[in-house]
Amino acid sequence: KSTTLALVERFYEPSSGTVRLDGVDVSTLPRHDVRRRIAYVEQEAPVLAGSIADNLRLAAPDATDDELMDVLDEVGLSDLVERTDRGLDVPVGDDGVLLSGGQRQRLAWARAFLASPDLLLLDEPTSSVDSRTEQVLQGALRATARDRTVLVVAHRLATVADSDRIVVLDGGRITAVGTHDELLASSPLYRELATHQLLVEW
C-alpha cells in the first residue's frame, strides 16, 4: 500500500498503467512539479531539531505566528505552545525527542496542512495517537479535504470510514472499491476487518 504512495510521488515508475494527477500522467511532468503539489505525512513522522515554529515553517516559510497557531489548533497541538513562555519557539529536541510519538505525528499533520497542497498523502496517519486524538485528527482531515484530494493508507478503518471512495487491497491487488457502507455489503474481507475493529456488530 505504501508503494502506491511512492508511485504517486514518482519515486518509482509503474511497470504498466499510469498514475494521473488532475487527469495528467505524472510521468510526463517534471518530478519537482509533481512533488510541489503534494504533501506527505508518513507513519514515522520526521521532526527536525529546533522549535515548533522551525518545523512548521519548513512547509510555509512566510507563515505568520497566527497561521501557525491556527494549524496547531486544528490538530489539537496548541496546548504544547500555550503552556510555556517560549510559545512557538519551544524546542522539540534532536529528532523530536522532547515530543511523544503522537505529538510528532500531529506536528507532521500540521506541517502538511500548512503547505496547502493539491494532494495530501497520509500513510497510516493515526498509528501513533490515541482514540481521542484520532477523532480530533479526523475532524481536521474532513475540513482540509473540502479543498483538496486526500489519499490515505490505513489499516485502522475508522481513519477512512468517512472517505468518498475506499479501495481494498489484498496481496497487492484491488479486491473491492466503494464507500464504507457499500463495502460492508459487498466485500467479505472489508466486513471482517470492520467487525474485528468494532466498526460493526458481530
Judge whether 192 counts as a catalytic residue.
no
Q: Which residue out of 13, 74, 82, 124 is catalytically annotated? A: 124
Phi, psi (deg, nearest 5) at residue 74? -60, -35
Torsion of CA 99, 102, 108, 81, to 10 degrees: -50
Note whether 105 and 129 are within 8 A (CB): yes
Cell of 66: 497566527
* Structural Rg of the chain based on CA atoms: 18
- Three-state DSSP at 96 gives helix
Contact 148, 118 (CB under 8 A): yes
Give residue 55's identity as a one-letter amino acid code: N
Please identify which residue in the block is written with the cell numbers 505504501: 2
Backbone phi, then psi, for 189, in 5-degree steps?
-65, -45
Q: Catalytic residues, which ones?
A: 124
